[in-house]
Chain A
Amino acid sequence: GDSVTQMEGPVTLSEEAFLTINCTYTATGYPSLFWYVQYPGEGLQLLLKATKADDKGSNKGFEATYRKETTSFHLEKGSVQVSDSAVYFCALKETSGSRLTFGEGTQLTVNP
């Protein structure tokens, strides 16, 4: 079945540091890929997405590129802020249906 594997956390960075959170997936078809963010006390919010190979999703300075050859969708940001502290979830959705499969989540803490 489908699965998503994220790098283990927690991740602690200083403000303005470079961020990478690795995500790899296993799927039978050609899934859409997502990054969701969960701020403390809030629900998950869609951060960015990519629907086909080589697509790059971007939002709020975050980027991720859909790499079919390596089945990866790594999240990056060039300069993190304290306000980026949250839990980040990588997820996939198969072409048919609405079902999302999530990774384990990665806790990010950014210190001033």
Chain B
Amino acid sequence: GAVVSQHPSWVICKSGTSVKIECRSLDFQATTMFWYRQFPKQSLMLMATSNEGSKATYEQGVEKDKFLINHASLTLSTLTVTSAHPEDSSFYICSARDPGAGTETQYFGPGTRLLVL
């Protein structure tokens, strides 16, 4: 199956700094990518939908100025957590839709664990 990678897999940062997380589709072009957040023992919560070449669509309650999403190419989307605070510590997961595989199919990255001190 198609592969989606995320980098970094782990990041620890100081409060007030910004952190960028990359999501790449390795063997297909993803017109749409999704960013999720997962708290311990909880479900994945969709944060935003990212379409290549256009602005991301954020879910209700997600601060777009805090979680900056850029989808500048068909294989790369980035999530930047700006001025991170301890409450932003979480597991961030991206997924990518392969248009060649139909709207049903999303491929997930392995996730990035963020710890803000």
Interface majority SS (helix, strand, loop, mixed), chain B? strand
Count A/B pairs, Cβ under 8 Å.
51
Given contacts A43-B110, A43-B111, contact A102 B104 (CB under 8 A): no
Query: B25 on the interface (CB 8 Å rule)?
Result: no
- A residues neighboring B (CB under 8 Å): 4, 32, 36, 41-46, 49, 51, 89, 93, 97-105
Q: How far is the CB of B19 from chain A (nearest CB, A)?
A: 19
Among the listed stretches B38-46, B66-74, B80-88, which one makes contact with chain A, having 4 or more residues with CB under 8 Å of it?
B38-46
Contact present for A45 and B108 (CB under 8 Å): yes
Per-residue 0/1 for B27-50: is the Cβ within 8 Å of any A Cβ (1 yes, 0 no)?
000001010000001111010010
Number of B positions contacting A (CB below 8 A): 23
Cβ contacts under 8 Å, B108 to chain A: 36, 43-45
Contact present for A103 and B43 (CB under 8 Å): yes
Contact of B44 among A41, A42, A93, A102 (CB under 8 A): A102
Closest 4 CB pairs of A and B: A43-B108, A44-B108, A43-B110, A102-B43
- B residues neighboring A (CB under 8 Å): 1, 4, 6, 32, 34, 41-44, 46, 49, 93, 95, 97, 103-111
Contact present for B110 and A41 (CB under 8 Å): yes
A-B contact pairs, 18 of them (CB 8 A): A4-B43, A41-B110, A44-B95, A44-B108, A45-B108, A46-B106, A97-B103, A98-B34, A98-B49, A98-B103, A99-B49, A100-B46, A100-B95, A101-B46, A102-B43, A104-B42, A105-B42, A105-B43
